[in-house]
Amino acid sequence: MSHRIHNFCAGPAVLPEAVLRQAQTDILDLEGTGIGVLEHSHRGKAFARVRDDAEAACRSLANIPDDYDVLFLQGGASHQFAMIPLNLLPDGATADFVVTGTWAKKAMKEAASIGAVHVAATGEDDSFHRLPDPESLRWSAGPAYAHVTTNNTIVGTEWAALPPTPEGVPLVADMSSDIFSRPLDISQFGLIYAGAQKNLGPSGIALIIIRKDLVERGRDTLPAILQYRTHAKANSLFNTPPTFGVYVMGKVFRWIEAEGGLKGMAERNGAKAQLLYDFLDASSFFRGTADPASRSLMNVCFRAPTESLEAEFIAEAARQGLDGLKGHRSVGGMRASIYNACSLESVQALVSALEAFETTHRGALAG
Amino acid sequence: MSHRIHNFCAGPAVLPEAVLRQAQTDILDLEGTGIGVLEHSHRGKAFARVRDDAEAACRSLANIPDDYDVLFLQGGASHQFAMIPLNLLPDGATADFVVTGTWAKKAMKEAASIGAVHVAATGEDDSFHRLPDPESLRWSAGPAYAHVTTNNTIVGTEWAALPPTPEGVPLVADMSSDIFSRPLDISQFGLIYAGAQKNLGPSGIALIIIRKDLVERGRDTLPAILQYRTHAKANSLFNTPPTFGVYVMGKVFRWIEAEGGLKGMAERNGAKAQLLYDFLDASSFFRGTADPASRSLMNVCFRAPTESLEAEFIAEAARQGLDGLKGHRSVGGMRASIYNACSLESVQALVSALEAFETTHRGALAG
């Protein structure tokens, strides 16, 4: 018999159990076709239904306007780090970045191999524990686009509201780790991209929501596979797409819908994060590392008094069936990733484990 | 209850049922970890075992020498169509192509967006039904690499033995549709690439076997994600890999091993193809379209006397639980893709259906 534990991995991450159970059936026989979901032609009727439903569910969930294309592309956010400037950054133009963590830096580094980049603001002096003051942002003159990372998994910060970006400049957002965790207004963006493996599905596929006028901007000399227009024109079927990823994403979209849509997710995620942050704020043993005003609802980063106590807690938690709590290797400490599919029960179990550990070890520490 | 039918899809294609049944378990709980295979961190111990076993099984199956890297990369062959010239075709150099079908043309077209290309031979005048005479190949002076497509899915041709390529020039082979269908000598190649969705696993991942000296050739200005060296140095963990694809490929490698390895596959595939071609050769109703000397053991393309009889057969076969027999939309007719995981029983069922259809309709046709 399979059992399931509490999974706080930062990505790939926990997925809704109902989706996994449906996948168990469909992997051998999709909807009574006698052929599993991995084995269906991407040009056949069965997969067409899967793909069309995934796009329809995505559009409905996020109320995506008709002048945006929804693309399901192979690869993840790191592939988009290159594909975005290859398509949207012409010779002589500049892309502006709000640098709020490691992933924003990586996005900027790939862009810098292709064209000019400008740092509108960086939180690096604060080790990224605090998001830049929106008033401090300094944009270049007429950038090709402005890039933000909406949630920073490693340090556990997230923009509660988007920072203001220059009028008329396409806003490009890496939403890999908080997409569809709360309502959003698509019309604010030129391009949204997200690797699927946190809130949407398995790794190896990215969701791209792109305003149609931006789709055409890739240079003619760019290989076809790297052009957004190739995929937009072909309904993401220019080449064989990651069909299983599209399938799982579609099921996750329908699961979100059944759980109350993006508003339902925001309530669910707010409740989970509040439970954990309230505990950390009240604790005299554990402490959160992100500036309170910059706190992420998706990744909660925290420390214990010593590194050896952290290692001890992580090991003790694993024994109790709480996994994935080790902080990113670049910052250490602990991190609970509590994406959409993470349940309130998992966070309650974590808080109980933290409380018990604190009770047991506070005295020893003082002594 | 799930039932399984005979699947002759060209890709995504049938996978070994034992692998799918294992995936059903592991998708909810991988090896008793309490976390499904889609949900494990790509940097955790459980996935490290999955990845390491996939590479070890691959190396063992194909007897891959130590001076070759084995990479599991996101995307499929179409992505490699761009990545290969971006890495291996410097300014001023030429890449030579043996053009044996639509996919070879597409590979050449992407390379032509990056550098100079040369056609060493083309079968286009024969509508690709016959492979070029090896004697007819004309190479450019000192090409950066020579590119061949070992099996051509659309027209059903396959090189029984590789055509000779110039001494000292890296041979680059698209083996998407016949990799690991028979023994091969890796040392003949500079780079082998294969989208997984025919003989190896789900779509959205490619297997790359690359000689180590070629890994370093990408230009410094190339985005990191598009450089082979990035992935080779990071053991295919530079970014989050398509973890489920790696998992399935590993299980398929172990399945091939249990079925007698590449030699076992060659016997199995030879028996299946012979059964079907023998039937077609003996039939006065159906006929194979590929030149007999160029015939593929993976994709068997054939016609009936009229297009309406073809449509009738495809529909009748579908009613009998034989799916995916429609030829590629660019050539019409019928095609049975009989990759590694396709069983002899499936081919026997197909031959029975063809025989019955012929018996029923031959008279009507004459009448």
- Is A174 noted as a catalytic residue in this protein? yes
Q: Which residues of B touch A248 (CB under 8 A)?
A: 38
Q: Which mean pLDDT values do the consecutive 10-residue runs of chain B (367 residues) have? A: 87 97 98 97 96 98 98 97 97 97 97 97 94 96 97 97 94 98 98 98 98 92 95 94 98 98 98 98 97 98 97 97 96 97 98 97 71
Torsion (CA) A291, A292, A295, A297 in degrees, nearest 10: 160
B11 and A41 within 8 Å at the Cβ level: the answer is yes
Task: Select the residue of B3, B221, B240 nearest A195 (Cβ to Cβ).
Answer: B240
Q: Which residue of A has its CA nearest to B204?
A: A242
Q: For residue A335, which amino acid is it? A: R
3-state secondary structure B286-355: CEECCCHHHECCCEEEEECCCHHHHHHHHHHHHHCCEECCECCCCCCCEEEECCCCCCHHHHHHHHHHHH
Helix (H, G, I), strand (E, B) or coil at B147: strand
Q: Which two tokens stand for residue B9?
A: 């899809």
> How much is the pLDDT for B362?
86
Do the chains contact at B110 and A86, CB–CB below 8 Å?
A: no
Query: What confidence score (pLDDT) does residue B143 get?
Result: 98
Same fold, B18-258 and B261-362: no
Residues in B touching A82 (Cβ below 8 Å): 223-226
The secondary element (H helix, E strand) that includes residue B195 is strand B191-195
Q: What gap in Å lies between CA A266 and CA A187, rounded to an integer?
A: 19
Q: Which amino acid, one-letter code, is at B284?
A: S
Distance between first and last Cα of chain B: 44
How far apart (Å, rounded) are the C-alpha atoms in residues A110 and B148? 31
CB contact under 8 A, B9 and A201: no
Best to test chain B binding among A1, A3, A17, A28 (most B CBs inside 10 Å): A28
C-alpha to C-alpha distance for B251 and A196, rounded to whole angstroms? 23
Q: Are B240 and A12 in contact (CB under 8 A)?
A: yes
Looking at residue A362, what is its pLDDT? 86
ipTM of the complex: 0.97
- CB A225 to CB B79 under 8 A? yes
pLDDT of amino acid A3: 84
The alpha-carbon gap from A363 to the nearest alpha carbon of chain B, in Å, equals 33
Tokens of B53: 């076993």
Residues of A in contact with B248 (CB under 8 A): 38
A293/A304 Cα distance (integer angstroms): 21
Any chain B CB within 8 A of the CB of A75?
A: yes
pLDDT of residue B127: 93
- Any catalytic annotation for residue B103? yes
Instruction: Please give the pLDDT value at position B89.
Output: 97
User: Is there a contact between A203 and B240 if contact means CB atoms under 8 Å apart?
Assistant: yes
Tell if the CB–CB gap between A113 and B222 is shorter than 8 Å.
Answer: yes
- Residue A108 host element (H or E): helix A102-112
% of chain A residues with pLDDT over 90:
96
Helices vs. strands in chain A: H and E counts, helices first:
10, 14
Q: How far apart are CA B360 and CA B325, in angstroms?
A: 19
pLDDT of residue A220: 83
Spatial separation of the C-alpha atoms in residues B203 and A50, rounded to whole Å: 15
The predicted pLDDT at position B366 comes to 59
Position B365 scores a pLDDT of: 66
Q: What architecture is the B18-258 domain classified under in CATH?
A: 3-Layer(aba) Sandwich (3.40)
**Do the beta carbons of residue A294 and residue A157 sit within 8 Å?**
yes
pLDDT tens-digit series, residues A210-269: 999 999 998 888 999 999 999 999 999 999 999 999 999 999 999 999 999 999 999 999
CATH architecture of the region A17-258: 3-Layer(aba) Sandwich (3.40)
Phi then psi for residue B264, to 5 deg, are -60, -40
Does the annotation count A278 as an active-site position? no
B131-139: long-range contacts, CB 8 A cutoff, minimum separation 24: B131/B100, B131/B157, B131/B159, B131/B163, B131/B291, B131/B293, B131/B294, B132/B98, B132/B100, B132/B163, B134/B163, B134/B164, B137/B98, B137/B163, B137/B164, B137/B165, B139/B96, B139/B165, B139/B166, B139/B169
Q: Where are the domains of chain A?
A: 17-258, 261-362
Report the relative pairing of strands B334-337 and B299-303 from DSSP bridges. antiparallel
Contacts with A360 (C-beta within 8 Å, 6 or more apart), sequence order:
none
Which stretches of chain A score pLDDT less than 50? 367
Two tokens, residue B340: 């590694």
- B29 close contact with A: CB closer than 8 A: yes
- A and B: number of Cβ contacts within 8 A: 226
A225 close to A239: Cβ distance less than 8 angstroms: yes
CATH tag, B261-362 = 3.90.1150.10
